[in-house]
Structure 1
Amino acid sequence: MSVQQADPLEDVLALVGTTSRLSVRLVAGGEWALSFGPPPAVKFVAVRRGRCLLTVDGVPDPIELAEGDCFLLTQPRAFTLASGRGVRPGPAGPIFAAATDGVARVGTGEDLISIGGRFDFGERAQELLLDALPPVIHVPGRSAEAATVRWALEQIDAELRDRPLAATLVTEHLALVMLIHLLRVHLAGPGAASGWMAGLTDPVVAPALRAMHARPAHAWTVAQLAEVAAVSRSTLAARFKKAVGQSPLDYLTGWRIELAAERLGRGDQTVAMIAREVGYGSESALSNAFKRVTGASPREYRRRTSPGGGGSPATWPRGRLGG
């Protein structure tokens, strides 16, 4: 069975509204250590010169960062950057608040130069994306797989240094390119993710995932998805359950509800129109599935999550895409 296939990672990143923001550079020398509180968003740091030591709350071993290395902190955990072990850290906040010309300085000299920033996501990112990732993703710059990450960082450096027209917008877009490549490098490793993201690296599960994302409104059967994956029904069902944590059709239901919830939040379509777009033959069929997964009817969900409606999508129960 030949069908159009989509990119689930791209779909989820678009659904959760990924944006980026760069911070000031950090220049450090001598013996130094800075403690950072739990960031409100996904934090990233890239070492452009020198080396430092990263320690994250709840992560047993420190991570040595060399020139060209990057890390993503996917959970709100306190962390420390230091020149080495045994240096007592001071708070990072005053150092960055005192930054001049886009540079925060600590210690003496320029042994280390790093750039950092944050990625902000919509309400559903925690369950759809971040829960499927480890608390810290470390990508060594010397690895061949990180070549595009290195390229993006070099371009960001050039934009920050020369400040041409629209430099802020360009660097924010380059940071998103870097994020996608960091996730690609991470997913290429063994046992790198859980839930639906684990399915992206399974040669049997991935074609079925891509097919469902390409045509979420199609009345998929396990037999059709197995044909797309070129395996038997039983093989697909077992592999999908092992990798993603739920059956193919349960995953499809969850993704349809995510799409419906996003459209309900926009408020520019009727419930009947949304039902047709996401694969339900009637408004009542969508309402039944939506209430079963979220605990609310589509109309109630729209009312409670609209501006001034007294609720937020993040506060409502929702089915998960595996895991």
Structure 2
Amino acid sequence: MADDQLSEVFELVEVRGLVSGGFSVCGRWVSRAALQESFKFMAVVAGSARLMTDGIDAPIELLPGDVAILNNRSRLELAGGTGDGPVREVMPVEDGLSLTEADWTTNDIILGGRIDLNGAGRTLLLEALPPVAHVRASPTSGANLRGSIHRLFDEVAGNRIGSAFAIRQHAQLVLLEVLRAYVEQAELPPGWLRVLTDERLRPALTLMHSQPDQLWGLNELARAAAMSRTAFAERFREVSGMPPRAYLNRWRMMLAQRALRDADVSVGSLATELGYASESAFSTAFKREVGESPLRYRFRVRDQALSS
């Protein structure tokens, strides 16, 4: 299933959707912020908002249940409300956010957060999404998304025991539902998200994902996809933005990064598991893809985990 492969990628890139702020406001309002995060998401729980950021020509109207992901943007402006009163400047509350008294019938209720990823994940999401990925809460694909947003809101507003853990889990589910809905609503650019959802290429992807130690050739992959060698190669490059061998190498490096983070396997053993002829060949490929040697990567990410 494509969702299973998407779940695989989620685990490998350490997707963490974190709620970092929100507000409930009645009347005319505006909220502005400079952005440092690579990826920021906003979810409209109730009411509506107009979103502006660098890289778009006109405001994006966000309705109840809509979510927007900002991809590597530098500024954000949200505005909403009606009436004749003055425009109120709103600052999102980041700690002790209390929405238990929010009036869903009159207020605009907004949740916002950042999406934390490891280096591989940042690269993948940067190429998969436009400057603003607007996901609408449509009747077909939006039901699960609306439900996830409401459950996230309930945890944020309820402030119950274990809410911090629950908020992290619900935020990740919101992000997963956003990507699922985005796949259905938008024409995806070439990249990992598009190739994971391509029905014709799925059998070939399954081979590469399940047996990364094999040096899969075009003939074998094309046969699995029931396509000619030429047609398969052309479609794979068109959909993924790279040839099959480059995709397989990237997949291997993502698996290697997880193993170096989470397991105590030796570099030599890992090289063998991933199909490299020698530890040296694996280390060279890893450094070319990741920018540092396998051991340096292991020490750095584990030090970061201990200090966080």
TM-score range normalised by the length of the shorter chain:
0.7 to 0.9
Deviation, structure 1 residue 253: 1.7
1:220 to 213, 216, 220: 216
1:175 to 171, 175, 188: 171
Structure 2 Cα separation of the partners of residues 22 and 232 of structure 1 = 47
Q: Which runs of 5+ in 2 are unaligned?
A: none
SS of the counterpart of 1:96?
coil
SS of the counterpart of 1:124?
helix
Structure 2 Cα separation of the partners of residues 209 and 79 of structure 1 = 37
SS of the counterpart of 1:160?
helix
Structure 2 Cα separation of the partners of residues 7 and 168 of structure 1 = 27
Counterpart position of 1:77: 74
Structure 2 Cα separation of the partners of residues 187 and 301 of structure 1 = 34
Corresponding letter in the other structure for 2:25: A
Structure 2 Cα separation of the partners of residues 104 and 142 of structure 1 = 27
Q: Report the more deviating stretch, 58-67 or 195-204.
A: 195-204
Distance 1:182 1:111, change over 3 A: same
Structure 2 Cα separation of the partners of residues 18 and 308 of structure 1 = 15
Structure 1 runs (4+) greater than 6 angstroms displaced: 87-91, 308-311
Deviations, residues 80-114 of structure 1 (Å, cap 9, x unaligned):
010279x998865xx33597652599xxx943112
Corresponding letter in the other structure for 2:238: K
TM-score (norm 2): 0.83
Corresponding letter in the other structure for 1:227: R
SS of the counterpart of 1:188?
helix
Counterpart position of 2:98: 102
Asked if residue 236 in structure 1 is aligned to residue 229 in structure 2, the reply is no
* Percent identity of equivalent pairs: 32
Counterpart position of 1:153: 149
Do 1:82 and 1:89's aligned partners in 2 also have CA atoms closer than 8 Å? no
RMSD, matched Cα: 3.3
1:275 to 261, 271, 274: 271
Structure 1 Cα separation of the partners of residues 3 and 107 of structure 2 = 45
Distance 1:241 1:130, change over 3 A: same
Corresponding letter in the other structure for 1:147: A
Deviation, structure 1 residue 183: 0.3
Asked if residue 111 in structure 1 is aligned to residue 104 in structure 2, the reply is no
Corresponding letter in the other structure for 1:55: M
Q: Which runs of 5+ in 1 are unaligned?
A: 312-323
Do 2:151 and 2:170's aligned partners in 1 also have CA atoms closer than 8 Å? yes
Do 1:98 and 1:104's aligned partners in 2 also have CA atoms closer than 8 Å? no
1:302 to 292, 295, 298: 295
SS of the counterpart of 1:45?
strand
Structure 2 Cα separation of the partners of residues 309 and 116 of structure 1 = 29
Count of matched residue positions in the alignment of Structure 1 and Structure 2: 299
SS of the counterpart of 2:74?
coil
Deviations, residues 271-322 of structure 1 (Å, cap 9, x unaligned):
21111121223323324544555566xxx442366239999xxxxxxxxxxx
Deviation, structure 1 residue 160: 3.0
Deviations, residues 153-184 of structure 1 (Å, cap 9, x unaligned):
22223323333332221222111111111101
Counterpart position of 1:320: none
Structure 1 Cα separation of the partners of residues 248 and 144 of structure 2 = 32
**Where in structure 2 are the equivalents of 1:1-323 lying within 5 Å?**
7-83=4-80, 95-96=91-92, 102-103=98-99, 110-265=106-261, 268-290=264-286, 293=289, 300-303=293-296, 306-307=299-300
Structure 2 Cα separation of the partners of residues 138 and 126 of structure 1 = 19
Structure 1 Cα separation of the partners of residues 267 and 75 of structure 2 = 43
Do 1:20 and 1:175's aligned partners in 2 also have CA atoms closer than 8 Å? yes
Do 2:28 and 2:86's aligned partners in 1 also have CA atoms closer than 8 Å? no
SS of the counterpart of 2:24?
strand
Q: Report the more deviating stretch, 59-68 or 157-166.
A: 157-166
